[in-house]
């Protein structure tokens, strides 16, 4: 049972003999996977090899990738792509071959795509297949709140779930968390609003070991226009030849790295950040420009129809003018520690996709490796059967029903408090733990977040929900309760994610990959270690042969 999306592929890979519940807090189509544009990396061309893909991934990961996990990813890429093609995913073709593009920090043309809506092509195809499978039940608008652990064995035996105005407990032999990233913890993000770090927070509260949470990839080019979402302008646009220019029309990225706009993402993001700090009157709201005019117009139309459409919607004609862009939080490298079979340290609990830390991304993800990771590791769930079948927990039945009561005034006051938190958490995180970090700002933000956590726990709604015993179901009949309880649960997770990122960023006193400390700007060999988190303990652990 699991929040999806690469849940979708994972569910398809599970043996059909298992009964599977695929839970998603919104609709099956709303996810970061659906929004993925650029593509999916795989060394399938004769000029390429898994070995080269491994080298590029290790290089981007800045010393923190686990080599065995990276090799596993690169070596299984080709067979997993075949499996997607067999399921019906229509990647772009060049003649009869798969078309491949170049993206930043890849040494070969290696990125498969379906125009600039690759994620949508993959997710719609997988969703169609999932809906055909009689052993998979899709449950939409259902929010996983917490894991349910056996007090005797510590094994994960299910989750608590908010569904149709009711909190209930769902028993399962195994739980797979596939809840995606946590970009919403930052005010500027390319992630959809469902990406609130739920899996990491849920797993952490249950005692799962987490890793490298300070590493956040900031995408250099998100559309920056008043009123518009931070729509991502894919890396592939720069791969095809677009230029990054400043207000004076100068290609400034070469001032910061010899690869210019094709340097790794963290370098390009920091180049933009630093350039704006030095040149803009108000760097927080300023932007640079992405000029697509060096790309032939026909190619733009063919490769980037969605970018053309979205820009047009915001009044930008990419054929005649550059696009205003600035960096935004994009991908969370850290997550729940998993092995090659997606197992966590909690028996019965698995994690796949962005919420997991498999060891493939290290301190900085190589572009287009995340969809690949979802597929390659999702496929590993076919090995789950033996483990699941050995478990013979007696089904537990719900023992009682309780109802939440609150006066209308209390309910409304608490909702106002929650809405304020929803705005203020991302704001403080962007200011203190964004592209450039520094001890004092991190510590001040941490103190504020800890105060908010205490205030949050003191709310009447929190006291009620957190006081429920497993097997005790709860009903709510307050107005608009589905949205309000989702807000409550997401804020709880955002607070935990913010706390975990801040503590991890304070812990690592160096700069590397997606973690830049202006007070410790150097990469230090002594810090070529993972940051591990278990409950409230932070410690270092060796990198496995990077």
Residues that bind ligand FAD (CB under 6 A): 3-6, 23-26, 30-33, 35-40, 118-119, 143-144, 178-181, 190-191, 194-195, 198, 232, 331, 353-355, 368-371, 374
Nearer to ligand FAD, 5 or 512 (CB): 5
Q: What is each CA distance from 89 to 72, 301, 353, 384, in whole angstroms?
A: 23, 21, 19, 25
Q: Which two tokens stand for residue 172?
A: 């399962």
Distance CA 170, CA 543 (A): 37
Nearer to ligand FAD, 176 or 276 (CB): 176
Q: Which two tokens stand for residue 337?
A: 């520690």
Residue 171 · residue 393 · CB < 8 Å: yes
Distance CA 462, CA 487 (A): 12
**Alpha helices, H only, 61-146:** 67-87, 118-132
CB of 32 to ligand FAD, least distance (A): 3
Distance CA 201, CA 203 (A): 6
Place of tokens 């005797």: 152
Active-site hit among 110, 120, 238, 265: 265
Nearer to ligand FAD, 184 or 511 (CB): 184
Distance CA 388, CA 404 (A): 36
Nearer to ligand FAD, 308 or 445 (CB): 308
Place of tokens 């990771």: 373
Judged by DSSP in three states, 63 sits in coil
Residue 530 · residue 64 · CB < 8 Å: yes
**By CB neighbour count within 10 A (0-12 exposed, 13-18 middle, 19+ buried), where does 533 fall?**
buried
Contacts (Cβ under 8 Å, ≥6 apart) of 90: 114, 121, 125
DSSP 314: T
Whether 265 sits among the annotated catalytic residues: the reply is yes
Nearer to ligand FAD, 349 or 442 (CB): 349
CB of 53 to ligand FAD, least distance (A): 13
**By CB neighbour count within 10 A (0-12 exposed, 13-18 middle, 19+ buried), where does 83 fall?**
middle
CB of 368 to ligand FAD, least distance (A): 4
CB closest to ligand FAD, residue no: 353
CB of 278 to ligand FAD, least distance (A): 28
CB of 484 to ligand FAD, least distance (A): 15
Nearer to ligand FAD, 366 or 506 (CB): 366
Contacts (Cβ under 8 Å, ≥6 apart) of 375: 6, 9, 40, 80, 81, 83, 84
Nearer to ligand FAD, 23 or 102 (CB): 23
Contacts (Cβ under 8 Å, ≥6 apart) of 22: 1, 2, 4, 7, 8, 11, 28, 130, 136, 137, 138, 139
CB of 532 to ligand FAD, least distance (A): 21
Residues paired with residue 93 on neighbouring β-strands, in sequence order:
98
Number of H helices, E strands in the chain: 16, 24
**Alpha helices, H only, 398-525:** 408-433, 439-458, 460-466, 481-507
Closest-CA residue to 180 (of 330, 286, 299): 330
Residues paired with residue 356 on neighbouring β-strands, in sequence order:
336
Distance CA 432, CA 429 (A): 5
CB of 202 to ligand FAD, least distance (A): 7
| CB hemisphere CA count around 531 (13 angstroms) | 25
Nearer to ligand FAD, 354 or 414 (CB): 354
Q: What is each CA distance from 404 to 143, 149, 187, in whole angstroms?
A: 18, 24, 32
How many Å separate Cα 346 from the centre of its chain? 21
CB of 541 to ligand FAD, least distance (A): 23
Nearer to ligand FAD, 8 or 253 (CB): 8
Catalytically active residues are 265
């Amino acid at each position: 049972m699991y929040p999806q999306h690469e849940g979708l592929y994972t569910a398809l890979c599970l043996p059909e003999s298992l009964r599977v519940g695929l839970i998603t807090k919104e609709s099956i189509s709303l996810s970061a996977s659906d929004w993925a544009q650029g593509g999916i990396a795989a060394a399938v061309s004769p000029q390429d090899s898994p070995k080269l893909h491994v080298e590029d991934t290790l290089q981007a990961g800045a010393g923190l990738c686990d080599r065995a996990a990276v090799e596993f990813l690169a070596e299984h890429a080709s067979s997993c792509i075949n499996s997607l093609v067999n399921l019906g995913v229509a990647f772009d073709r060049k003649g009869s071959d798969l078309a491949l593009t170049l993206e930043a920090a890849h040494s070969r043309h290696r990125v498969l795509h379906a125009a600039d809506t690759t994620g949508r092509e993959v997710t719609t195809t997988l969703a169609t297949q999932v809906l055909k499978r009689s052993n998979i039940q899709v449950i939409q608008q259902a929010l996983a709140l917490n894991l349910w652990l056996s007090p005797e064995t510590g094994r994960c035996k299910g989750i608590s779930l908010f569904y149709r105005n009711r909190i209930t407990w769902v028993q399962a032999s195994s739980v797979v968390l596939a809840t995606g990233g946590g970009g919403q913890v930052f005010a500027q993000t390319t992630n959809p609003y469902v990406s609130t770090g739920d899996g990491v927070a849920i797993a952490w509260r249950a005692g799962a070991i987490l890793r490298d949470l300070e590493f956040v990839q900031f995408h250099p080019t998100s559309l920056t226009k008043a009123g518009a979402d931070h729509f991502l302008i894919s890396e592939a646009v720069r791969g095809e030849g677009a230029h990054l220019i400043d207000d004076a029309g100068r290609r400034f990225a070469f001032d910061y790295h010899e690869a210019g706009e094709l340097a790794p993402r963290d370098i390009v993001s920091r180049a933009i950040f630093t350039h704006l700090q030095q040149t803009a009157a108000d760097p927080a709201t300023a932007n640079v420009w992405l000029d697509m005019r060096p790309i032939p117009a026909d190619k733009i139309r063919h490769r980037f129809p969605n970018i053309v459409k979205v820009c047009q919607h915001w009044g930008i004609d990419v054929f005649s003018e550059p696009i205003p862009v600035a960096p935004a939080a994009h991908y969370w490298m850290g997550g729940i520690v998993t092995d090659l079979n997606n197992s966590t340290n909690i028996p019965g609990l698995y994690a796949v996709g962005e919420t997991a830390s498999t060891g493939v991304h290290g301190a900085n993800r190589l572009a287009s490796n995340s969809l690949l990771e979802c597929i390659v590791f999702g496929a590993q769930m076919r090995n789950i059967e033996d483990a699941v079948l050995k478990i013979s927990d007696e089904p537990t039945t719900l023992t009682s029903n309780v109802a939440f009561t609150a006066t209308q005034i209390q309910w409304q006051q608490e909702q106002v408090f929650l809405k304020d938190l929803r705005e203020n958490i991302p704001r403080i995180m962007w200011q203190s733990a964004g592209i450039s970090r520094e001890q004092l700002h991190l510590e001040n933000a941490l103190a504020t977040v800890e105060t908010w956590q205490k205030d949050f726990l003191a709310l009447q709604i929190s006291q009620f929900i957190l006081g429920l015993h497993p097997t005790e179901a709860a009903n709510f009949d307050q107005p608009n309760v589905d949205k309000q309880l989702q807000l409550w649960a997401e804020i709880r997770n955002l607070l935990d994610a913010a706390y975990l990122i801040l503590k991890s960023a304070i812990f690592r006193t160096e700069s590397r990959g997606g973690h830049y400390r202006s007070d410790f700007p150097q990469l230090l060999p002594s810090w070529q270690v993972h940051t591990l988190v278990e409950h409230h303990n932070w410690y270092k652990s060796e990198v496995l042969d990077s």
